[in-house]
Amino acid sequence: MEQRLLVIEDSKPIARVIGQIGKALNFQVTVATTLAQVEEILQGDIEFFAATIDYSLPDATHGEAIDCVLSHGIPGVVMTGKMDDETRQDILSRPVIDYIPKENSQAFLYLKRILHSQLNNHQHGVLVVDDSSAARNHIVELLKRRNFSVYVASNGVKALEVLQQQGGIKMVITDLEMPEMDGIGLTNELRKLYPRDQLAIVGISGAENGLHSARFIKNGADDFLRKPFCPEEFYCRITQNIENLSNIEQIKKAANTDFLTGLANRRSFFHDADIRLAEYIKHKTPYCLAMLDIDLFKGINDKYGHDAGDHVLKLVALYMRKHLGKGSLARLGGEEFAVLLTGEDEDQLFGKLDDFRREVSVAQIVFEQQHISVTVSLGAIFNSNQPLARQLHLADNALYQAKENGRNQIATSGVDD
């Protein structure tokens, strides 16, 4: 569902830029140029996900619009042309998401980052570990303003318990001095269990000793904050660390995915299939491994063009998802695909492969007004105890046999174990 963004801004060009940012993030945008308009809009029953609030409006020169928006329970980002200390203090005395000085174009890029993370932060769990409930509550309040899913623990031992029970925790913010297990001990334990690309750790300490930051980082923490910290620094560091994790996740996904079809690539299939195969063999789960190949695909490229060939590859992947979607599916390269699939028994598994083959053979593929027919051949092996590489070799031999026998069919390999 489209979320709504309220843009409060009296400068039309700036309102337009913010509006475009909102639309790029799929927000439905409503613009107000005065406090009076804001009050009128908020009297209605429209629900806003967030608002961007110009600090100074013609009829509200001292941030009165901020109070109006917050009093309706709408999270707000303040945009301000003034950046003196008094204005900053005035803004930060209210529980806003953030404030952004409208100094240059960076301000709008930063706003986009803030709104994007505000939409997505609920997916990121953050565990706050501190024995002082006041310090803990302060951090929890700051994180909740940014929509994070927040968990708490009062020492290292309890933190480890929470992490075991709750999935989705991406970051631990831990104080140094705590009973039972302190922040350094906790960081140490966490790094034995969670690598840096899965969990970020931020150490916090109010102690004067400047060596604590280095101690935290040498023990595996990613960052450090000295108490008392200002909200700006806190948010910058938290956002940066969460963004780092998200970037690593995206890189990993790209490295494991075939860009054209969105299926797993060769590397990812080998890794995943190896693990699954061991489980199937151990538990005697009925399964099959199949290699499949589009028939005479070179001819499709030659006759209809490379783009048409790409379209066919994507459609074959789509039919694989439809019929074989519960298994591991991959494009191994070119027009060659692989499937590792579990089922009730050999007959049922063969039936699934054959339903897929048949649907491809009757599909009406249209690309730029050209009608394309395509078939696939498969080589399959069932319930083998052989290692993955050997099974792939046998399935490939069977595939060769299917081609030799006239294509558009499945050939099966005998189990040689």
Ligand X SMILES: Nc1nc2c(ncn2[C@@H]2O[C@H](COP(=O)(O)OP(=O)(O)OP(=O)(O)O)[C@@H](O)[C@H]2O)c(=O)[nH]1
Q: Which residues bind ligand X (CB under 6 A)?
A: 260, 293-299, 301, 306, 309-310, 313, 334-335, 403
Q: Which residues, at least 6 apart from 213, have a Cβ–Cβ distance to it below 8 Å?
A: 203, 205, 224, 226
Identity of the residue, 54 or 295, whose beta carbon is nearer to ligand X in the bound complex: 295
- The least distance separating ligand X from the CB of residue 308, rounded to whole angstroms, comes to 7
Residue nearest to ligand X (CB): 309
φ and ψ at 220, to 5 degrees? 115, 0
Element (H, E) at 113: helix 105-120
- Tokens 């303003």 identify what position? 145
Place of tokens 């329970």: 73
Q: Closest CB to ligand X among 273 and 316?
A: 316
Asked whether 32 and 60 are in contact (CB, 8 A), the reply is no
Shortest distance, position 360 Cβ to ligand X, whole Å: 13
At closest approach, how far in Å is the CB of 126 from ligand X? 42
Which CB, 63 or 379, lies closer to ligand X? 379
- CA-nearest of 249, 224, 19, 240 to 113 is 240
State phi, psi for 206 to the nearest 5 degrees: -100, -5
* Smallest separation (angstroms) from ligand X to the CB of 384: 24
* Cβ closest to ligand X, residue 127 vs residue 313: 313
Smallest gap from Cβ 361 to ligand X, in A, equals 13
Nearer to ligand X, 178 or 353 (CB): 353
Of 54 and 396, the one with the shorter C-beta distance to ligand X is 396
- Chain-centre distance of CA 159, in angstroms? 24
- State the nearest-atom distance from the C-beta of 294 to ligand X, in Å: 6
Q: What HEC string does 248-307 produce?
A: HHHHHHHHHECCCCCCECHHHHHHHHHHHHHHHHHHCCCEEEEEEEECCHHHHHHHHCHH
